Structure 1
Amino acid sequence: MAPTTIAASELSRLLGAWATGDGTLSRDLAASLVELIRAGLIPPGAGLPAQRALAGALTVSRGTVTAAYEALAAEGYLATDRGSGSRVRSAHHWLHRELSGRFFSFTNAPGDVVDLSTGALPASPVTYDVLARPVTDRIGSYLVTDGYFPAGLPALRQAIADRFTADGTPTSPEEILVTSGAQEATWLAITGLAGPGDLVLTEEPTYRGALEALRGAGARVEGMPMVDGGLDPTRVRRAAARSPELLYCQTSIHNPTGQTMTAAARHALADVINSTGLATIEDACSADLTLAGHGAAPTLARLVDPALLVTIGSASKLFWGGIRIGWIRAAPERIHGLVELRKPVDLATSVVDQLLAVDLIGHTEVARHQRRAMLTEALAGATATLHEVAPDWTWEPIAGGSGLWVDTGDDAVALVERAKRAGVKLVAGPGFSTYGGYGDHLRLPVWHDPDVLRTALASVV
């Protein structure tokens, strides 16, 4: 799939805190663009935004962008044609694939930066308890093996299957594939079901990690507006007439909006999937993070033909992202194919992490209670702080999750750029959009201390 022009909002996000203050803005911008090109974060042949558009996104003069582009062209990084803009020359690019800055940014934030760009939560209390116990008494029997279990440790596959069963979805270990985190599960599922040029349907907005996997697969992604917390089944049925290869959705707790589908809409969506034979990936990674009721939020499991449904789950949201455990639930035949797809890039998940996950999953109900209490309290503090610091911002009440989908009523991309210079990391709506929309939205985590949130936002609002 041919590279396209990078949106100004996306390039602003990739650049991060590019203005060092040690030289001119144009020199800083040029140096940062070179870093992105050499790191493989801007693909060969990709068009850079128009100078005026990038200047607006970065809140600098057009002359600053012009000088930076000219410097890169002089050094051979850009090819500039009158009327067609500036494109990255492939000679200076070593990855030769389209990437995004989301995962790059996880390791790119200095210690003095307040990071409000991710909804990832700190470890839950029960995780401290489990990690305090040594694993030496449980790992001994595995030390005499080669340590490679491509589908996952039998004990963990059983524990995950038992958790599904306890939640009302009878599951066998053969229907479970353990992965090194949910992002690997997302990549595997998408790569196994969609390829270059395939039409994939999803919510608009949607989880940005899935968008990156879909774009990496070369798929054509069509976002459908959310209605009452989820997809409109009637609209999905109409779209299914165009023979999409795949539906990617989140019907439990949606990231980034924190909404959930109504039971009636979920059943109607399941009917569409079953009647049209539409292969579906359901991302249920946030299903445990409910703010009301007991247990996890409901999903499409039990409603959809198992041959059509792939469910993605994670230990990160409930327990801790440092335990790199995700999983896929699917029909055994599909699990077998995904294991084969995985082997060339990741032979197996860490045995130690898997043993810890067995213990953690045994404390699921405790962890759910802890997360619910934490997020309920944090949400109250965050909303009070937002009403105080940014009274014009609005958002819909959430059913769960770790963040708010905030409408700032203004240019959120420019706000993110101002925030960078104040040592605050935010993420704007276009990163969650299939078409670069929601330029007035922020995805804002709620779990930070209200004083930290107040100080950070007061410096940029």
Structure 2
Amino acid sequence: MADWQSSVTPPALARLLGSARLPDPPGHRPAYRALAGQIRLLISEGRLPVGARLPAERELAGALALSRTTIATAYDTLRAEGYLRSRRGSGSWTTLPEGSDPPSDALHPVPPDQAGRILDLGVAALPAPQPFLGEAAARAVERLPAYTRGHGHYPTGLPVLREALARRFTARGLATTPDQILVTTGAMGALHLVQRALVGRGDRVAVEAPSYAHTLQGLRLGGARLVPVPMARSTAHPSRPPHWDLAEWRRVLQGATPRLAYLIPDFHNPTGALIPEEQRRELLAAARTAGTLLLVDETMAELGWGLPDAGLPRPMAALDRSAQVVTVGSAAKLLWGGLRVGWVRAAPALVRRLAADRVYTDVGTPVLDQLIATELIGERLGEVREHQLARLRESAGALGTALRERLPDWRFAEPVGGLTLWLDTGGLSGTALAEAGERSGLRIAAGARFGVDGAFEGYVRIPFTVPGPAAGTAVDRLAATAAAIRAGYRGGPAALPPLAV
């Protein structure tokens, strides 16, 4: 159960229920069963957090213009199914049935020696941009001797890379100086460093629901108490990715007073959402009032493959006048996952503090990796970026077409950037799909990994990393796995079509 137990008011629950549309069954659905189904859907999609206290029966009956008997019977149904718990004198709160928690093991990349046997739809990382990476590595090796005369430890990062990153932030609309940059060993190294510095054991951290699985687990392992804030969906434009529910964010910030909020406003992982600038301003103002720091994950920010750069909102830190935003970025998503270079952009005082803290862990990021990143982020960034975005456009188009043809009952919003597609599986268990796929040579990221309490069981995340010509075969494998689950699959390998690459 989430740490912070909130109370859902009758009007708020009525609003959520209005957006929880169930497919109409043949024949008549009793009102109590329809209500129970809507609440169940809200819980499973994470829009109604686990641990939320529901209104009393009489209050909800008045808000929905239903009889109290209907509400009581719906609550009884949810209790019997494991989606509701009640205690006399304490009310009723949402929960999940036993066995709904996601698997505890991390979703690791497929080992290189198994790449021909297993199709990896779990890791959102692009192949390296060639010949750019090879050429950058050769130039970096030429520059390396100048750095070998000393000990090679640069706790804040190589000055040339910090300068290149500062110029890139400035070009994106966020004036930055090198002393505001700390180079880290990958984005996860940056996130862990900031977390250790800013979040104490037991502190509350507000997170989007869903959110990036590895960061959620890292926060848990660090002792943070997570407060999920559900994303909102547009009923008028269901094909668009979700957005922030600002009313819910204000309620959480005021009620839970989290120390930190972790956000992915740029091509959100896993949903692909791009948050407009006005929402960024409003959330920043609400967080300032609550005294909450914002940790903004920009690892996907350069991946706007479906719209021009002029259509991108400014970074959240560009809207911040009080050093309230700490930004994390990475070379891995745009350039190559094997290039373990990340960074933090923050006030100079915090950069100095983080640099002093990191010497007790990794001392500094490898010099050669930093030199390669400097070459790629420098003058050739435009060419490299367009090369990678073209790959993503091709993959996104091919995957979308194949999914609509082969899995027409699965729903997804169409993002305009990022690396991931968030799929509603039409009622199938994402965990079951992942387990069946693993035995059949298909690696899938179950949706429950991206929730705080096992929510999003009916979702999977697919990355735009399959080459366009292979997208049809990849979706064929996914459809075959789904068909096996529907047919009562219980384990053992299933025959799937080979992957054409």
Under TM normalisation by the shorter chain, which class is it? 0.7 to 0.9
1:435 is matched with 453
Alpha-carbon RMSD across the aligned residues, in angstroms, is 2.5
CA contact (8 A) 2:207 2:228 kept: yes
Aligned position for 2:114: 110
- Contact 1:306/1:331 (<8 A) preserved: no
Indicate the SS of the match to 2:261. Answer: strand
How far off its partner does 1:455 sit? 4.1
Is 2:173–2:315's contact at 8 Å kept on the other side of the alignment?
no
Alpha-carbon shift at residue 196 of structure 1 (Å): 1.4
**How far off its partner does 1:240 sit?**
1.9
Query: Given that residues 203 and 230 in structure 1 are in contact (C-alpha distance below 8 angstroms), is that contact kept between their aligned partners in structure 2?
Result: no
1:101 matched to 2:122? The reply is no
Normalised to the residue count of structure 2, the TM-score between the two structures is 0.70
User: Could you tell me whether the CA contact under 8 Å between 2:156 and 2:183 is conserved in 1?
Assistant: yes
Which residue does the alignment assign to 2:463?
A: 445
- Residue equivalent to 1:251: 265
Tell me how far 1:121 sits from its aligned partner. 1.1
Q: Which moved more, 1:134-143 or 1:162-171?
A: 134-143
Provide the rounded CA distance (Å) in 1 between the counterparts of 2:102 and 2:265: 33
Q: Indicate if the aligned counterparts of 1:207 and 1:256 stay in contact, CA closer than 8 A.
A: yes
Q: In the alignment, is residue 270 of structure 1 matched against residue 284 of structure 2?
A: yes
**Aligned partner of 1:294 among 296, 302, 309:** 309
Give the secondary structure class of the aligned counterpart of 2:338.
Answer: coil
CA contact (8 A) 1:315 1:324 kept: yes
Q: Quote how far apart the aligned CAs of 1:343 are.
A: 1.3
Identify which range, 139-148 or 269-278, moves more after superposition. 269-278
Q: SS at the partner of 1:427? A: strand
Instruction: Tell me the percent identity.
Output: 35
Query: Residue 442 of structure 1: SS of its match in structure 2?
Result: strand
Residue 298 of structure 1 and its aligned partner are, at CA, apart by: 3.2
- SS class of match (2:279): helix
Give the equivalent residue in structure 2 for 1:281.
295
Within the alignment, does 1:457 sit opposite 2:478 as a pair? yes
In structure 2, what is the equivalent of residue 178 of structure 1? 183
SS of residue in 1 equivalent to 2:316: coil
Indicate how the Cα distance of structure 1 residues 223 and 53 shifts in structure 2: closer, same or farther if over 3 A, else same: closer
Cα separation, 2, equivalents of 1:404 and 1:445:
6
Find out whether 1:239 has 2:243 as its counterpart. no
Structure 2 stretches lacking a partner, 5+ long: 1-96, 234-241, 483-501
What corresponds to 1:74 in structure 2?
Answer: none
Match of 1:329 among 328, 345, 349: 345
- Structure-2 separation of matches of 1:370 and 1:441: 30
Counterpart in the other structure of 2:147: 142
Query: What residue is the counterpart of 1:30 in the other structure?
Result: none
Which moved further from structure 2: 253-262 or 305-314? 305-314
Partner Cα distance (2:113, 2:206) in 1: 33
**Residue 213 (structure 1) aligned to one of 200, 218, 223:** 218
Residue 193 of structure 1 is matched in structure 2 by 198
Report the equivalent of 1:407.
424
- 2:83 alignment partner in structure 1: none
Summarize the Cα distance change of 1:328–1:132 in structure 2 as closer, same or farther, 3 Å threshold: closer
Which residues of 2 match residues 52-91 of structure 1 at below 5 A? 53=99
Gap runs ≥5 in structure 1: 1-50, 59-99
Name the CA shift for 1:113/1:106 in 2 (closer, same or farther; >3 Å).
closer
Aligned residue for 1:373, secondary structure, equals helix
Q: Distance in 1 between matches of 2:139 and 2:385?
A: 24
Say if 1:419 and 1:459, in contact at 8 Å, map to a contact too.
no
Aligned to 1:225: 230
Name the SS of the counterpart of 1:192 in structure 2.
Answer: helix
Superimposed CA distance per residue, residues 25-77 of structure 1 (whole angstroms, 9 cap, x where no aligned partner)? xxxxxxxxxxxxxxxxxxxxxxxxxx9849x999xxxxxxxxxxxxxxxxxxx
Q: Which secondary structure state, in structure 2, belongs to the residue aligned with residue 223 of structure 1? A: strand
| Paired AA for residue 105 in structure 2 | G
1:303–1:132 Cα change, 3 Å: closer
Asked if the contact 1:203/1:225 (under 8 Å) is kept, the reply is yes
Measured at CA, do residues 300 and 132 of structure 1 come closer, stay the same or move farther in structure 2, by a change above 3 Å?
Answer: closer
Q: What is the CA-CA distance between 1:105 and the residue it aligns to?
A: 4.9
**TM-score, normalised with respect to structure 1:** 0.76
Task: Give the aligned partner of residue 345 of structure 1.
Answer: 361
